[in-house]
A and B are shown apart, each in its own frame.
Chain A
């Protein structure tokens, strides 16, 4: 049962209601067996969560970690993301594979290096690329070897990792990602044919209608795992669609 009392039960458990609200809920609980049951169940969930154990991995990961941190990687800078010292890093990125550039002028610390696997790099690059409209990074390790890795010259530009981190954090939620993509789409919209644009907008409307319906259903039935998953999946379709269109748009000269 969903009513205005039920909505406050979590805050009640967490001690986040003020005196007045707490007293009101206490009074309600006195007379509502259903709410008392729900309260007990919620408390049990919280207890389970509190004692959820941390278990280590089956395999010992240390040898793999040691190999990677010891790995002597010859570093090839790819160009910095944004200005040295700025964490927003939304400036242009030069795509210079294998080109050795000047080291950043203001190293922040002497010993740290970082490596990212190609898939991490692709992920990082893709996010930075679509969020900032800049070209995609790519790096190859000089001297062949196994996986291509993104590397930066020692001492590293702290702006690179921080920029990536900042972007990751900034796009942690769907809404944020969608907003960014929509902005990006605005920028490339002019390059697309009006018929294409109409088509895309129609498809986005279809998806938006679906999202709206799912949201409304969820509002009426918040304890419904299926609806969550469905909303989740539908929002991902919107992101996929926006991404695809942005790629097409960017491909237009």
Chain B
């Protein structure tokens, strides 16, 4: 069903010509469910208890909108395999969103409810939001900015950037880097195979922070006054810390475990081929 078009590189058979634009009332709390084979999906929110669906699509495509209970589902019918449909949807702020896209990017702004996105070949961008976020792309970059709920992000062939967000975080990629910046979280798990992993955010008492990579460098910023049990391992890389570590705590050139403060938080950093850097907030 989802045939991949590498969208920037291939000219679509015909640019979408038709516009559908429909608005209807809904309950404030509901869910939007969009499935799209080819084309972008953009969802924003407003204060009205209404859903507005705008779509640009080919002549033969019909947009099928169904409202069942509190779920509004949107999909296209009759489109040829190559036809693209681009959605621009606005929902009530508390709505949750589920998007399943084959070939196209997904952009969600200020969605209050839980978010679930799956893309085969496209970037995923989430801005704002207060619900759970669960996004997965096979080939796409994931960016999450200003979200305040638990986040799970997974891609295989690109990187993940999460910034200015709070909540538990689980980020995973194979061939890309992970950058977590300006985060407030007590539970962070970030893993890559072939990319760097960086975390700069709060380190909260009793929390758990695990960064791992096979080939990439790991960097974690540790504020003053942190209470943590830290365990660092590399196989082929070096370990650099910005603060003094007792000689007896160095188990070997490549393994380090030490305690800061009362050690209540657990920090685990493991890289096979990369280096590990533990830095202070003010250092370069």
Binding site for B on A (CB under 8 A): 193, 195-196, 199-200, 202-203, 206-207, 210, 213-214, 217, 226-227, 229-230, 233-234, 237, 241, 244, 248, 251-253
Contacts and interface: CB of A to CB of B under 8 A. Distances in A.
22 contacts: A193-B3, A195-B4, A195-B6, A195-B121, A199-B156, A206-B174, A206-B193, A210-B194, A210-B214, A210-B215, A226-B235, A226-B270, A227-B235, A230-B212, A230-B214, A230-B235, A230-B270, A230-B272, A234-B214, A237-B174, A237-B193, A244-B156
B187 to A, nearest CB: 18
Contacts of B3: 193
A229 B2 CA distance: 37
Given A193-B4, A210-B194, A213-B272, A233 B174 contact: no
A200 B174 CA distance: 11
B157 interface: yes
B1 interface: yes
A227 B131 CA distance: 37
Interface of B: 1-4, 6, 120-121, 138-139, 156-157, 174-175, 191, 193-194, 212, 214-215, 233, 235-236, 255, 270, 272-273
Contacts of A213: 214, 272-273
Contacts of B235: 217, 226-227, 230
Contacts of B175: 202-203, 206
Contact of A252 (B2, B6, B174, B236): B2
Given A196-B120, A241-B156, A251 B194 contact: no
A251 B214 contact: no
A252 B138 CA distance: 15
A214 B156 CA distance: 20
Given A196-B4, A202-B175, A253-B1, 9 more contacts: A196-B138, A200-B156, A207-B193, A217-B272, A226-B235, A230-B214, A230-B270, A230-B272, A234-B193
Contacts of A200: 138, 156
Contact of A233 (B212, B255, B273): B212
Contacts of A253: 1
B138 A251 contact: no
Nearest to B212: A233
Contacts of A227: 235
The 10 closest A-B pairs by CB, nearest first: A210-B214, A193-B4, A226-B233, A195-B4, A203-B156, A203-B174, A206-B194, A253-B1, A196-B4, A210-B193
B174 A207 contact: yes
Contacts of A248: 120, 138
B266 to A, nearest CB: 15
B277 to A, nearest CB: 18
A202 B139 CA distance: 11
A203 B214 CA distance: 13
A233 B270 CA distance: 11
Contacts of B214: 210, 213-214, 230, 234
A206 B255 CA distance: 25
B4 to A, nearest CB: 4
Contacts of A195: 4, 6, 121
A217 B2 CA distance: 40
Nearest to B195: A206
A253 B255 CA distance: 50
A252 B1 contact: yes
A195 B9 CA distance: 12
A195 to B, nearest CB: 5
A241 B174 contact: yes
B171 to A, nearest CB: 14
A229 B156 contact: no
A202 B157 contact: yes
Nearest to A194: B4
Contacts of B156: 199-200, 203, 241, 244
Contacts of B2: 193, 252
A135 B6 CA distance: 31
Nearest to B3: A193
A193 B4 CA distance: 6
Nearest to A195: B4
B24 to A, nearest CB: 30
B172 to A, nearest CB: 8
Contacts of B121: 195-196
A51 to B, nearest CB: 28
Contacts of B138: 196, 199-200, 244, 248
A60 to B, nearest CB: 31
Contacts of B273: 213
Contacts of B139: 196, 199
B272 A210 contact: yes
Contacts of A214: 214, 272
Contacts of A234: 193, 214
